[in-house]
Amino acid sequence: MADAQGKWLLRENPARPDELAGRIRRDSPADVLAAASAAAAAQREWAALDFETRADTLRMAFGAVEGMDALARTMASEMGKPVGECAGEIRFALAFAADMEGRARRLLADDVRGEGPGRRVVRRAPYGVIAAIVPWNAPIILAMTKIAPALLSGNAVLVKPSPFAPLTLSAIVAMIAAHLPPGLLRAVNGGAETGEALIGAPEVAKVAFTGGGTVGRAVLEQASRRFIPSVMELGGNDPLIVLEDFEPTTARMEALVWASFLNAGQVCMAAKRLYVHEAVADRFVDAYVETARRLLHMGDPLDPRTNIGPVISAQAQGRISRVAAQARCDGGMVVPLLNDFSDYPEQGYFVAPQLVTGLTDDAELVRDEQFGPIVPVVTWRDEADVHRWAATGDCLSASVWSSDAERAWDLAASLPAGLCLVNAHNRSGFSFDLPFGGSGPSGFGREYGDEGLLEYSMPKALHQPATGSVASAYPGKS
């Protein structure tokens, strides 16, 4: 939403849409171009510093993020995530930045190749100015996975927050940027036109994008016209497979419920379709419903008891409700998961959490990413079927749940996802050490791990041949 003159982005509170969570100045295309040119000037000096000076400066800058309670409250008000989860996300993002520093120290040093006369070195060179375009569902960590490795590698970064969650991210970026050379890190705010202006800025040398596939395609097309490389973290319709020997322990059932319902299901790597072997399906559904009704407390995100808030917008609420209605038409049986003590503002964009049983693999709710708190269970008998189903569709991650860890490991490893998990999914399966990213329509490039650091520099080869080598001869041994 914008004000009448279009100067400000206005963000309503999705739990109480008649309240404004805040407003932020919209950057015009001219502002974006000026920011890119200032970023390029700052980057040249930043890249010339030695690594330890950059690392010391960044440690101090990330350490300047303060006022956690106020930041978490702003974030809960602008995007509906429970306030404790918001504080957790900010702390996780800062821990991620610290983890990247160690990787950068180890991976960015010159790599001297080979023995003998002459000099051969591979040096990691920054790209220049990075455009970091992020969605609203985890705005701080999805920006930090780009900001920290890019700055450590010697780049400048312009961050484009989502207009659905611009407030907290812009505030955190400003706190960090205040301790860095002017212009090196900045948020530019607005919608699609701001993102387009950013990718079009001549100084932008790489795009790191997280968001949906439709926008991802537009971003990729624009970047490709300028030959700029990109990291694409797109959507997923991630399968979770339960084998016939699965034991529904309390810990596992709780992990399973959070695998799908964290952030009201609005997580890229949430378990979005559950494939349960028919031999355990009844026990599984009973245990799932009991666990979810015990755990889930839907309410105002600012209430510390709330662990499931509203969805992001009226449009998302309408879309998910339509998907639920279609699931009923497709023969699904809706099992409500809301417990008796939930209490939420009626006018907010709330969608009650639901499990839908009785669907087949071709139902819309199973086929497409729902990005909300409604989750299908499909039963299966033949492992070949479930393997084929799970392999169809976009998978960022996939998981297999079983008491036989070896069998589950082999099945998980054979699935076409970027992150394959055993007896874990979503947050319970996450590790700083492992690269995260998609395959096929869920994207390419990686975040986290060594691979996530190396996205922000390119290998540059330096070679001084040994004196006396014969320039006309082919190099290498005959």
The set of catalytic residues is 233
Minimum gap (Å) between residue 269 Cβ and ligand NAD? 7
Is the distance from CB of 418 to CB of 436 less than 8 angstroms? yes
Binding mask 390-419 for ligand NAD (x = CB under 6 A): ------x-----------------------
* From candidates 70, 192, 405, 461, binder to ligand NAD by CB under 6 A: 192
| Class of residue 289 by CB neighbours under 10 A (exposed 0-12, middle 13-18, buried 19+) | middle
- Asked whether position 127 contacts ligand NAD by CB under 6 A, the answer is no
> What is residue 2's three-state secondary structure?
strand
Per-residue binder mask for ligand NAD (CB under 6 A), 219-248, x = binder: x-------------xxxx------------
C-alpha dihedral over 111, 115, 118, 121, to 10 degrees? -10
Residues between 250 and 269 that touch ligand NAD (CB under 6 A): 268
- Paired tokens of 430: 């996450």
Can you read off the two tokens belonging to residue 174? 């400003």
Q: How far is the CB of 251 from ligand NAD (least distance, A)?
A: 26
**170 makes contact with ligand NAD (CB under 6 A):** no
Query: Nearest approach, Cβ of 162 to ligand NAD (angstroms)?
Result: 4
Instruction: Report residue 203 CA to chain centroid gap.
Output: 25
Distance CA 353, CA 131 (A): 36
DSSP letter for 213, please.
H
Mode of pairing for the β-strands spanning 111-112 and 119-126: antiparallel
Report d(CA 254, CA 287) in Å as an integer. Answer: 10
Contact by Cβ (8 Å): 449, 280: no
AA letter at 98: A
Q: Which is nearer to ligand NAD, 285 or 316 (CB)?
A: 316
Per-residue mark of binding to ligand NAD, 65-104 (x: CB under 6 A): ----------------------------------------
Nearer to ligand NAD, 174 or 192 (CB): 192
**What character string, x for contact with ligand NAD (CB under 6 A) and - otherwise, covers 137-166?**
xx---x-----------------x-xx---
Q: In the set 17, 63, 181, 191, which binds ligand NAD (CB under 6 A)?
A: 191
Q: Which of 62, 344, 371, 456 binds ligand NAD (CB under 6 A)?
A: 371
Burial of residue 87, with CB atoms counted within 10 A of its CB: 0-12 exposed, 13-18 middle, 19 or more buried: middle
Using the contact rule CB under 6 A, the part of the chain among 118-126, 134-142, 405-413, 419-427 near ligand NAD is 134-142
Q: Report the C-alpha gap between 369 and 371 in whole angstroms.
A: 6
Instruction: Figure out which of the listed residues 22, 135, 154, 372 binds ligand NAD, where binding follows CB under 6 A.
Output: 135
Of residues 297 and 427, the one with the C-beta less far from ligand NAD: 427
Q: Does 356 bind ligand NAD (CB under 6 A)?
A: no
CB 62 within 8 A of CB 99: no
Q: Least distance to ligand NAD from the beta carbon of 357, Å?
A: 24
| CB 90, CB 68: distance < 8 Å | yes
Q: Which among 4-12, 130-138, 256-264, 465-473 is the span making contact with ligand NAD, rule CB under 6 A?
A: 130-138
Is residue 375 within 8 A of residue 272, CB to CB? The reply is yes
Any idea what the Cα angle at residue 130 is, between residues 111 and 204, rounded to 5°?
115
Stretch that binds ligand NAD, among 97-105, 177-185, 205-213, 256-264 (CB under 6 A): 205-213
Q: 128's torsion region: left (phi>0), alpha (psi -120 to 50) or beta?
A: left
Which residue from 269, 288, 296, 290 is spatially nearest to 353, judged by alpha carbons? 296
Q: Binding of ligand NAD at residue 211 (CB under 6 A)?
A: yes
Residue numbers at the binding site for ligand NAD (CB under 6 A): 133-138, 142, 160, 162-163, 191-192, 195-196, 210-212, 215, 218-219, 233-236, 268, 369, 371, 396, 438, 443
